[in-house]
Amino acid sequence: MDKERIDQIIDKHDGEPSSLIQILLEIQAENHWLPKEALERISERLRVPMTRIQHIATFYKAFSLVPKGRHQIHICMGTACHVRGASRVLDTVQGLTGINPGETDLDLKFSLETVNCLGCCALGPVMEIDGKTHGKMAPAQTADVLKNYE
């Protein structure tokens, strides 16, 4: 992510330190992770110490300090999905991709995350890949779904 774009985002928020979280969210949304250079630039421009930025970037779930894979898998672990067998879906996906929640595989193909309720409880258990919802998942079906991603 180039410096100019980061500056544009900071300017949009008038360089206001209380907008720190909003700025980080925008960078995360565009770039899918927060590179160190971006954080340093924000620290410099907002005059917020790096420690506080690191605190925020690690406190909130939306931020990632490492690059993400081409496809983002979100397994819903909300209560409704849980009672309908979400943990079995998660186990299967972990087995198939070889990664644990929070990790990205070496080919940068998949990143796996668990989320707490996507609010599609009628479709549970739910797996979301790149924003597309796959509902009523069972372990056997997850393999079929994952095959479609390259």
Partner 1 sequence: MSRINSPAELEAFRRSLLSERDPNKTCITLCSGSACHASRSREVAASIQAELEKQGLNGEVEFRRTGCHGFCERGPIIVIRPEEICYFQIQPEDVPEIISQTIKEKKIIDRLLYTDPGTKEKIVHESEIPFYKNQGRLVFGSNVEIDPKKIDDYLALGGYSALAKALSQMTPEEVLGEVTKSGLRGRGGGGFPTGRKWAESRNAPGDIKYVIVNADEGDPGAYMDRSLLEGNPHSVLEGLILGAYAVGSNQGFIYVRQEYPLAVENVNIAIRQAEEYGFLGKNILGSGFDFTITVHQGAGAFVCGESSALMTALEGKAGEPRPKYIHTAVKGVWDRPSVLNNVETWANVPLIINKGADWFTQYGTEKSKGTKIFSLVGKIANTGLVEVPMGVTLREIIYDIGGGIPGGKRFKAVQTGGPSGGCLPAELLDLEVGFDELTKAGSMMGSGGMIIMDEDTCMVDVARYFLNFLTDESCGKCVPCREGIRQMLKTLTNITEGKGKEGDIELLEQLAEVAGEASLCALGRSAPNPFLSTLKYFRDEYEAHIKEKRCPALSCKALISYYIDPTKCQACGTCRKKCPAEAIIGGKNQIHVVDQDKCTKCGTCFEVCPSRFAAVTKISGEPVPPPIPEEARTIVRKSKAK
Chain residues binding partner 1 by CB under 8 A are 16-22, 24-25, 52, 55-56, 59-63, 77-80, 82-85, 87-88, 91-92, 95-96, 115-124, 126, 133, 135, 138-140, 143
Query: Is the CB of 4 or the CB of 148 nearer to partner 1?
Result: 148
Shortest CB 23 distance to partner 1, Å: 9
Shortest CB 37 distance to partner 1, Å: 20
Cβ-contact 120, 135 below 8 angstroms: yes
Written as one letter, the residue type at 78 is G
> What is the three-class DSSP state of 128?
strand
Query: Is the CB of 100 or the CB of 116 nearer to partner 1?
Result: 116
Helix (H) or strand (E) holding 72: strand 71-76
93-99, long-range: CB < 8 A, 24+ apart: 93/127, 93/142, 93/146, 96/142, 96/143, 96/146, 97/73, 97/146
Shortest CB 54 distance to partner 1, Å: 10
Shortest CB 39 distance to partner 1, Å: 14
Shortest CB 21 distance to partner 1, Å: 5
Query: Is the CB of 1 or the CB of 2 nearer to partner 1?
Result: 1
Determine what percent of the chain falls in helix, strand and coil, rounding each to the nearest 5.
50, 15, 35
Query: Is the CB of 92 or the CB of 104 nearer to partner 1?
Result: 92
Query: Is the CB of 67 or the CB of 95 nearer to partner 1?
Result: 95
- What six digits make up the tokens of 101? 């929640």
- What six digits make up the tokens of 25? 């969210």
